[in-house]
A = this chain, B = another copy of it.
């Protein structure tokens, strides 16, 4: 039935590029857990087994997807020009640029963490950060520790431990807090005090602010250690 344009307009031939692009779009829109070989093939108008002509297996596809996203990051970082003297702002800009891109690919953090080997593009990104530290006068050792301390934050993400996406209304929030006050007194006190000052729902964490807060905390500490040496 979907065979209008067949011989005359041969549907763009499959390629690794096209497979990966489709996989990323699909994961962006409906989550990586719904990314199946059969489903991916369907969006490409092809049978599942055809994918194996352009990727070794599903793992290879996931690797390619990560690689594409990190390439995006490398491209964005390449366009940032901050005088080499201002390492702090240069570092900040790069990491926040990475974060901005990862926010558009919510599946990426999980997939990145689940992979054991680092892709060449990832190595390239980290190499650039290391270069920035070294130029800024950080010792080799301190640079090494700095990279570990940043961890996944260097790539612009931290896996949150809880999900505050299920926003509760102010009434529900108040009721829930009251109910939990006995068991978790400190937590409920903190939440109610903060939500009282800000808006009145439970969706009370500004992820961007918290990310930058922790990032600055770490960069401050590293700078201090560098200057103390």
By a beta-carbon cutoff of 8 Å, the part of chain A in contact with chain B is 110, 112-114, 116-118, 120, 122-124, 126-128, 130-131, 134, 140-141, 143-145, 148-149, 151-152, 155, 158-163, 180, 183-187, 189-190, 193-194, 205, 210, 213-214, 217-218, 220-222, 225
Contact = CB atoms under 8 A, between A and B. Distances in A.
Contacts of A126: 184, 187
Number of copies: 2
A217 to B, nearest CB: 4
A163 B221 contact: no
Contacts of A144: 190, 194
B151 A194 contact: no
B220 A134 contact: no
Contacts of A189: 134, 140
A149 B194 contact: no
Given A141-B194, A217-B222, A112 B183 contact: no
